[in-house]
Amino acid sequence: MPRTWTKTDAFAHFGTTLTNARWSWSGIALDGSVVALVLWQDVVKGRDGRLTYFDDEDLDAEWRRRPGHTERVRHLAICRDRHDGRFRAVIARAVDVTADPRDIASCHPQEGVWWRLDEFDEATGAFRAHVER
């Protein structure tokens, strides 16, 4: 039987911590050495033989004001500026993919995989990334 992970445990697996278990969608190690982000399972796509992720859906003014978004933008900037765009992923399955905001039905740390930013718009928080193997 597969292990059941909490969001907090999945982030801790990478040595990262969440500011707030309810609204944080990214975490960082206390020493800043690792950043991890929630990636929605239904948004991860296979493209040209590799996994990709593009997050720009519904980046409206309301979402941009939420503390989880502000924190994620800061963590993405750290990925870009200090880690050559590399981050770890906590893969989350949504209770309802059409809900806004989404709730997590289940999640797990994506072991053995690093993601790398391809594009990042710091003004909106939109980003595109791919898996490095």
- 59-98 residue pLDDT tens: 566 667 788 999 999 999 999 999 999 999 999 999 999 8
**Residue 108 pLDDT class (50, 70, 90 cuts):** very high
User: What's the rounded Cα separation, in Å, for the pair 65 and 69?
Assistant: 7
For residue 105, is pLDDT > 70? Answer: yes
pTM over the 0.85 mark:
yes
| Mean pLDDT value across the chain | 92
Phi-psi group of 75: left, alpha or beta (phi > 0 → left; psi -120 to 50 → alpha; rest → beta): alpha
Write down the pLDDT at residue 104. 95
Domain definitions of the chain by residue range:
7-132
Write down the pLDDT at residue 37. 98
Yes or no: say if 129 and 38 are a contact pair by the CB < 8 Å rule: no
DSSP 66: S
